């Protein structure tokens, strides 16, 4: 690209170039432009390019780790499994299993990472890219608050992961599970990966899909039970949420076994 005579261009035009054709060549080309507006643009463009390089390097690491695990386990068809909702005092636990296909366009999700490290807008964007692509096979499984209370959270996690696996319309050779255990139903093909959502591409994808799916469920529950502000707290035990339970009693989506110390015997909202 020819960057001659950039100082003759308006700041608005240079801004358009920064937005539409970002490159290190452009950063260098405007290095000596003394206009404050151009120097501000240079700084923002430089930070953007550094962030993109960092994201691309992390994505390459996610893919490389997954490939290495596949080779070590002599597996061709690999999927990642992650859950969300272990800690909240309301709502289900949700698990996702995701299998990224060979034809998936990873350039569309260079910010792929564990869901906790992303903003809500970033998660939503990546979720939409993932779930709208034919290059990924995925399935979800949930375990209800009633099951969590009856069976305990660990067993409920196993149930949700098993349901996700059973819902996947895809044969797999290796299931990489985030955390430190493999559900008994996946013993033959499962391998746990501590902090796997930060290390393996398919697990990171599963973590984002599970997170966005559960957040949307909690948003729907907010419309039914606005007094608990599920839209904001997503079922977690914030001070506001705990105070709402004390004031109104728990509803049917609260995990009663998680409410010790918050409520005594008292009113309960059904429905």
Q: At what angle do helices 36-72 and 201-224 cross, to 10 degrees?
A: 110
Give whole-number Cα distances, 100 to 76, 137, 186, in Å.
11, 7, 19
Model confidence pLDDT, tens digit, residues 119-137 = 999 999 999 999 999 899 9
Q: What is the pLDDT of residue 212?
A: 98
> With helix as H, strand as E and coil as C, how does 140-197 read?
EEEECHHHHHHHCHHHHHHHHHHHHHHHCCCCCCEEEEECCCCCHHHCCCEEEECCHH
194: number of Cβ within 10 Å: 9
Instruction: Look at phi and psi of residue 85 and say left if phi exceeds 0, alpha if psi is from -120 to 50, else beta.
Output: left
> Within the chain, which residues score under 70 in pLDDT?
1-5, 264-271
Q: What is the pLDDT of residue 107?
A: 76
Q: Judge whether 219 and 230 are in contact, CB under 8 Å.
A: yes
128-154 residues labelled b (16+ CB within 10 A) or e (exposed): ebbeebebbbbbbbbbbbebbbeeebe
Q: Judge whether 228 and 247 are in contact, CB under 8 Å.
A: no
83 assigned binding-site residue:
yes
* Rounded Cα gap, residues 174 and 190, in angstroms: 6
Could you give all domains of the chain from N- to C-terminal order, each with its CATH number? 8-57 (no CATH), 76-221 (3.30.420.10)
* Rounded Cα gap, residues 53 and 246, in angstroms: 48
Q: What is the pLDDT of residue 77?
A: 93
220: number of Cβ within 10 Å: 11
Q: What is the pLDDT of residue 265?
A: 46
82 assigned binding-site residue:
yes
Q: What is the pLDDT of residue 41?
A: 86
Strands 93-100 and 136-143: antiparallel
31 assigned binding-site residue:
no
Q: What is the pLDDT of residue 198?
A: 95
């Amino acid at each position: 690209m020819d960057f001659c005579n950039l100082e003759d261009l308006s700041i608005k035009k240079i801004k358009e170039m920064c937005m539409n054709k970002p490159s290190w060549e452009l950063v260098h080309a405007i290095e000596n432009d003394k206009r404050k507006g151009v120097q501000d643009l240079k700084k923002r463009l430089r930070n953007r390019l550094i962030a993109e390089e960092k994201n691309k390097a992390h994505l390459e690491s996610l893919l490389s780790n997954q490939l290495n695990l596949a080779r070590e386990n002599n597996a061709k068809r690999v999927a990642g499994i992650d859950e969300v909702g272990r800690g909240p005092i309301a709502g289900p636990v949700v698990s996702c299993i995701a299998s990224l296909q060979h034809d998936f366009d990873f350039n569309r999700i260079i910010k792929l990472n564990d869901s906790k490290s992303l903003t809500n807008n970033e998660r939503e964007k990546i979720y939409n890219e993932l779930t709208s692509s034919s290059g990924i096979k995925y399935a979800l499984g949930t375990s209800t608050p009633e099951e969590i209370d009856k069976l305990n959270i660990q067993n409920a996690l196993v149930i949700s992961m098993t349901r996700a696996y059973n819902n996947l319309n895809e044969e797999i050779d290796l299931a990489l599970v985030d955390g430190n255990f493999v559900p008994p139903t996946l013993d033959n093909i499962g391998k746990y990966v501590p902090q796997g959502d930060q290390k393996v591409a398919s697990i990171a994808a599963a973590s984002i899909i599970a997170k966005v799916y559960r957040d949307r469920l909690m948003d729907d529950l907010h419309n039914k039970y606005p007094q608990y502000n599920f839209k904001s707290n997503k079922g977690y035990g914030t001070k506001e949420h705990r105070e709402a339970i004390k004031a109104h009693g728990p509803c049917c989506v609260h995990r009663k076994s998680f409410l010790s110390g918050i409520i005594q015997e008292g009113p309960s909202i059904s429905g």
